[in-house]
Structure 1
Amino acid sequence: MSVRTALVAATAVVAAVALAAPVAAAAPAAPRAGHDATRAAMDANIRDGVVGIALQAKDARGVWKATAGKGDLRTGEPRTARDRFRAGSITKTFVATVLLQLEAEGRLSLDATVDRWLPGLVRGNGHDGRRVTVRQLLNHTSGIYNYTTDEQLGRDLFLADGFLKNRYRTHTPPQLVGIAMRHEPDFAPGTDWNYSNTNYLLAGLVIEKVTGNPYGREIRARIIEPLGLRGTGLPGTSPSLPGPHSRAYSKLAETAEGKTYDVTRLNPSMAGAAGELVSSPEDLNRFYSALLRGRLLPKKQLDAMKTTVPLGDQGGYGLGLIEQTLSCGVRVWGHGGGIHGSLSEAVTTADGRHSLTFNLNSDWTGNSQAIVEAEFCGE
């Protein structure tokens, strides 16, 4: 989730794998009584230029599925409630869960240094993996530079000319980490907080070192298969989006004006363990509900995951999990994700009983926080 949009969008228009700063809390609202406010917030997003929305909410009354807008601008086909989509940085909660499971099994310590598992990889221009812990990767207190903010990479991946040329290019985690190492750290490890996708590229590599398996295989075996998440996967380098799915749209520019591009097909290795996941509203509701109910982690590890770095009055960032107290006092946990043509939010209450996941299939506009507030706080 971002402390509203687990912080959304590498630029104001292109919802790359990066997330941005938390948004100010809304004015207090009355406790919710139904989904009418959620529907109204969805419709308002469509009026404001969002192409389409696919949403599912689950609470004590059952499951509510809703869509708005279009799934395909060329054919006019609407979005469907069964849509799969690129979930971007929601991937981070899956990665963090696997590392916490490995800790519970005694196979690593979160307080071990990155250099213990990836010797020499985090080095240069003031970066030093001997001073950064795995825990600091997961809660973004490492100070490691965020590779998606590199100016040249931004032109290559997030603006029209570069994206159209490079959309099918394969990027390896060491290559992307190497881009981050060309820059100075944001701060000394443990002294501050800043969202960095590089942290989770490294976390994925740590999983591979500990287990001997690709991180995607561990996520499938430990989370996807046990929970029966049939619409969820990690595509690796495949540019295809499995069906059913809508098209994904971006301006591929620094403004919200100009041509709209279909960016459905892309090689998600540009995001890797920081954001390659494909999922659905149903699956993400099931995942976060199971996680918060303690089905995936022992209490000690779940408590550690929910131990947050305060982000002002906006909430806090734990280990791949974001906490936010909404305007009506409801506390929710989750994550959000942005990647080309796709903005997603997944949140649930601490008891796992009320969950909400939705996806916008365009990345240059939208008020996701209004939908979250409407579902949990609206009349």
Structure 2
Amino acid sequence: MKAFVAAALIWATPAAAQSYHDIVAAAEGFNGIALVAKGRHVEMIESVGSADAERGIPVTPTTRFETGSVSKWVASIVVLKLVDQKKLDLDAPVSRYLPDYRADTGARLTLRRLMSHSSGLPNEILKARQADPAIRGVEREQMDAVRTYASGDLAFEPGTAWDYSHSNWLVVKAVVERVSGLPYARLIDRLLVRPLGLKDSGIYRGDSAQTAGMAVGYAKLGPAPERKPNPTPDFLAMAGGYYTSAPDMLKLMEAVLGGTFLSAASRKALLTVEMPDQHYALGGRVRVEPVGGHPRELAWNDGSNGGFRMVARRVLADGHSVIVFNNASYDHRKLGELASKLLDASYAPRLAQ
């Protein structure tokens, strides 16, 4: 039997709240949290199941979750804040910021190409981790990681094709840390966490279960829970090292997509699709999909790592948003379907207040 914890503050009518609850309750095997909002107003937030099954700790509205590849979208926001501060240029050659990087490719690569996975830089970190799982979680100094995993010959001319390569983000992180003079975790705190008043967000390293307030990632729950950690070394923090809670994720989405946290030019850059066949912009996707019976343009972000899965969607025109986290290896397709049903429900006529 599922254990549900409803949020204390919701803006939905009782009928709408029941509709949301029924949708979450029907998602067999779901363990995590679901949030629906209109702009900054939370319509529903519902927690289901265990954050830490062995210790009997339930999921609550402030439970922290790994975001997986949504870390790339967060990293793009950090880069664009530095662009707004005139410290970075999306279209300058990487060699301007990393003169010690491989000279021939450094002159051809830009942050825009790296952040849209259109650089041609091969995913050597993935190949290395697949060949030797023992290196997962092994720390390296950032430029050492760049030289080892992100300095290969380009697979194609930058901007001509798309390849989802974690190695891109090793170079971006090296640039950001070199220009700012700060470790990425401290930069996240300075540029995002403190200005936005985020209470449950930051960068973890290694096994995220060692971070206070974090959910544990599981391969399965049940009578004998099986953990599924996938340690993230600090040099991969931009690719998958960000953690947050559902309310904090909403606050970030509202500030960036519905507010003035970024300049108009940087917000446009974040949402401009660079690779149309993949709907890929900078660090995330922008798609037009049917929502509530009409085609709508959405910021579209998905992430996974170890036992964690997440989906975040926001309709750009009016701020209808859904955020769903799971920490028990829930099928990502089913998680997307759950998110879609909740977002559709936010447009149902019975929600008029």
**Normalising to structure 1: TM-score of the pair?**
0.75
**1:346 aligned onto 2:312:** yes
State the match for 2:71 in structure 1: 91
Q: Secondary structure of 2:69's match?
A: helix
- The offset of 1:364, in angstroms, is 6.1
State the match for 2:130 in structure 1: 154
Q: Which amino acid aligns with 1:221?
A: R
**Compared with structure 1, are the counterparts of its residues 92 and 299 closer, same or farther at alpha carbon in structure 2 (3 Å cutoff)?**
same
The partner residue of 1:230 within 188, 199, 202 is 199
**Compared with structure 1, are the counterparts of its residues 182 and 131 closer, same or farther at alpha carbon in structure 2 (3 Å cutoff)?**
closer
**1:307 aligned onto 2:283:** no
Instruction: Give the Cα separation in 1 of the matches to 2:111 and 2:232.
Output: 27
**1:129 aligned onto 2:96:** no
- The offset of 1:335, in angstroms, is 2.2
Instruction: Name which of structure 1's ranges 338-347 and 264-273 shifts more when overlaid on structure 2.
Output: 264-273
- The offset of 1:306, in angstroms, is 1.3
- The offset of 1:135, in angstroms, is 1.1
**1:103 aligned onto 2:72:** no
Structure 1: gaps (5+ residues): 1-32, 252-258
**1:199 aligned onto 2:137:** no
- The offset of 1:325, in angstroms, is 2.0
Instruction: Give the Cα separation in 1 of the matches to 2:140 and 2:271.
Output: 32
- 1:238-277 alignment runs, 5 A limit: 239-250=208-219, 261-263=226-228, 266-269=231-234, 271-277=236-242
- The offset of 1:239, in angstroms, is 5.0
**Compared with structure 1, are the counterparts of its residues 181 and 59 closer, same or farther at alpha carbon in structure 2 (3 Å cutoff)?**
closer
Residues 311 and 317, structure 1, Cα contact 8 Å, conserved in 2: yes
**1:180 aligned onto 2:160:** no
Instruction: Give the Cα separation in 1 of the matches to 2:250 and 2:126.
Output: 30
Q: Can you list the C-alpha shifts for 1:58-117, whole angstroms capped at 9, x where unaligned?
A: 226644111234334445654222210111222222221222222222222111111221
Instruction: Name which of structure 1's ranges 234-243 and 364-373 shifts more when overlaid on structure 2.
Output: 234-243
Aligned Cα root-mean-square deviation (Å): 2.9
Instruction: Name which of structure 1's ranges 108-117 and 56-65 shifts more when overlaid on structure 2.
Output: 56-65
Q: Which amino acid aligns with 1:318?
A: A
Residues 90 and 337, structure 1, Cα contact 8 Å, conserved in 2: yes
**Compared with structure 1, are the counterparts of its residues 286 and 188 closer, same or farther at alpha carbon in structure 2 (3 Å cutoff)?**
same
Instruction: Give the Cα separation in 1 of the matches to 2:244 and 2:212.
Output: 11
State the match for 1:170 in structure 2: 139
Q: Secondary structure of 1:332's match?
A: strand
Q: Which amino acid aligns with 1:371?
A: L
**Normalising to structure 2: TM-score of the pair?**
0.80
- The offset of 1:181, in angstroms, is 4.5
Instruction: Give the Cα separation in 2 of the matches to 1:246 and 1:191.
Output: 40
User: How many aligned residue pairs are there?
Assistant: 324
Q: Can you list the C-alpha shifts for 1:137-164, whole angstroms capped at 9, x where unaligned?
A: 11111111123430x412544xxxx4xx
Q: Secondary structure of 2:261's match?
A: coil
**1:214 aligned onto 2:214:** no
Q: Secondary structure of 1:88's match?
A: coil
The structure with the largest alpha-carbon Rg is 2
**Compared with structure 1, are the counterparts of its residues 178 and 260 closer, same or farther at alpha carbon in structure 2 (3 Å cutoff)?**
farther
State the match for 2:116 in structure 1: 139
Q: Secondary structure of 1:224's match?
A: helix
The partner residue of 2:287 within 324, 332, 338 is 324
State the match for 1:376 in structure 2: 343
Residues 41 and 370, structure 1, Cα contact 8 Å, conserved in 2: no
Structure 2: gaps (5+ residues): 1-14, 349-353
**1:113 aligned onto 2:93:** yes
**Compared with structure 1, are the counterparts of its residues 115 and 39 closer, same or farther at alpha carbon in structure 2 (3 Å cutoff)?**
farther
- The offset of 1:309, in angstroms, is 2.3
State the match for 1:4 in structure 2: none
Q: Secondary structure of 1:210's match?
A: helix
- The offset of 1:270, in angstroms, is 6.2
**Compared with structure 1, are the counterparts of its residues 45 and 179 closer, same or farther at alpha carbon in structure 2 (3 Å cutoff)?**
farther
State the match for 1:281 in structure 2: 246
Instruction: Give the Cα separation in 2 of the matches to 1:77 and 1:242.
Output: 15
**Compared with structure 1, are the counterparts of its residues 317 and 153 closer, same or farther at alpha carbon in structure 2 (3 Å cutoff)?**
same
State the match for 1:46 in structure 2: 28
Q: Which amino acid aligns with 1:210?
A: V
The partner residue of 2:38 within 52, 59, 73 is 59
Q: Can you list the C-alpha shifts for 1:119-176, whole angstroms capped at 9, x where unaligned?
A: 34347xxx712111111111111111123430x412544xxxx4xxx66532443344
Instruction: Give the Cα separation in 1 of the matches to 2:131 and 2:47.
Output: 33
Instruction: Give the Cα separation in 2 of the matches to 1:204 and 1:181.
Output: 12
What is the aligned-residue identity percentage? 25
Instruction: Give the Cα separation in 2 of the matches to 1:58 and 1:68.
Output: 18
Q: Secondary structure of 1:296's match?
A: coil
Instruction: Give the Cα separation in 1 of the matches to 2:275 and 2:230.
Output: 37
Q: Secondary structure of 2:182's match?
A: coil
- The offset of 1:182, in angstroms, is 7.2
Instruction: Give the Cα separation in 2 of the matches to 1:222 and 1:128.
Output: 30
